[in-house]
Amino acid sequence: MRSLRSLGLGVLVGLLLAVPVDAAVISVPADHVTIQAALDAAGPGDTIEVDSGVYGEKLEFPTSGSPGLPITLRAKPGAPTRPVLDGTAVPGANMILIDSKSHVAVVGVEIRNNLGVNDGSGVRVLGAGECLGDAAPDPFCESAGPGGASLKMRTGAKAQLSWRWGRGAAGDLADLGAPPAGADVKLCVYAVGAVGEIVLEAVAPAGAAWRESAGGGFKYKDRFGYPDGLRSAQLSPGDSGKAKLRVKGKGAGLPFGPLTFEPGTTVHAQLRSSAGGCYGSVFSPPFRRVESGKFQDASD
């Protein structure tokens, strides 16, 4: 697995694979008053469900899950609002630290106020890292408007990627953070059906390849496509329905999985930031084109 300085996970969702018989659901604050106490008690296959509220904590995953048995930290299904992890006056550099742990997932947890920290992250992953740790998208992503997104993928020697997002309710895109100053941006593509899988996870890392646009927002350009084949990205704020997101990549470095989909499978593409923002689109069959390593469609 790649080692990333920080990784936006704000993520994983309800379509987990079948829950094993011995898995536990640990509720916060019903079973444990703090989220960290629940993490300390969790093992492979367990799910920690956090009710609505503001939690003044900084967290660390002490244990790895295992293949098919992730440790999942998520918002409680059906709760009126997602839980907020607030770093105000809480010591420590990172709001959530995943250090050399794997098969873990964070789902729908909002992160705020990691203040007074010189070298910290909303979510920092060291020694491991995937879009989610399991094959399911984030249910709290800001959705594109009807037909407002498109996705093109092609595998092979001439691999290409193009994702566009628009017509959504987003405005200033502030929750995507400032990529030149330390917010990684990652595109995650999922196939969600009877069995879920990650089709693509590709990062546009924070740093000098990003620059602020004259009209607001940010642009990314890397002609070498390091590390995952992404060559360009654009984050353009605007009034409701006017904000736009663009990601393009090409070359053998694009880490595609198979572009073969079982009947009834939907494809989800989500752009995430380590600052916590998430913007997504859903593509339902029949797709405009899916054949021989090629996919093309407009969003629902």
Read off the pLDDT of each residue in 265-274 and give the average, rounded to a whole number.
90
Q: Which amino acid is at 71?
A: I
Shared domain check, 170 and 252: yes
pLDDT at res. 38: 97
Last residue of a domain, one of 140, 159, 182: 140
Tens of pLDDT along 117-164? 655 667 776 643 346 544 578 777 889 999 999 999 999 989 999 999
Beta bridge partners of 54: 84
Last residue of a domain, one of 75, 106, 140: 140
Read off the pLDDT of each residue in 2-16 and give the average, rounded to a whole number.
31
Shared domain check, 146 and 135: no
At 300, is the pLDDT very low, low, confident or very high (cuts 50, 70, 90)? Answer: very high
Shared domain check, 19 and 105: yes
Shared domain check, 122 and 226: no
pLDDT at res. 285: 96
Shared domain check, 170 and 52: no
Tens of pLDDT along 14-27? 333 334 446 899 99
Least confident stretch, 138-152, 167-181, 217-231: 167-181
Shared domain check, 107 and 36: yes
Read off the pLDDT of each residue in 98-106 and give the average, rounded to a whole number.
74
Please name which of 77, 64, 141 lies closest in space to residue 110, comparing C-alpha atoms: 141
Shared domain check, 188 and 85: no
Shared domain check, 100 and 11: yes
Q: How many domains does the chain have?
A: 2
pLDDT at res. 128: 36
pLDDT at res. 195: 62
What are the CA-CA distances from residue 100 to residues 61, 74, 182, 203 (Å)? 9, 20, 21, 19
Shared domain check, 148 and 288: yes
Shared domain check, 186 and 87: no
Shared domain check, 103 and 241: no
Last residue of a domain, one of 77, 106, 140: 140
Residue 275 has pLDDT above 80, yes or no: no
Q: Domain range holding 102?
A: 1-140
Q: What is d(CA 230, CA 255) in angstroms, rounded to the nearest whole number?
A: 10
Shared domain check, 293 and 242: yes
- Percent of the chain scoring above 90 in pLDDT: 49
pLDDT at res. 103: 67
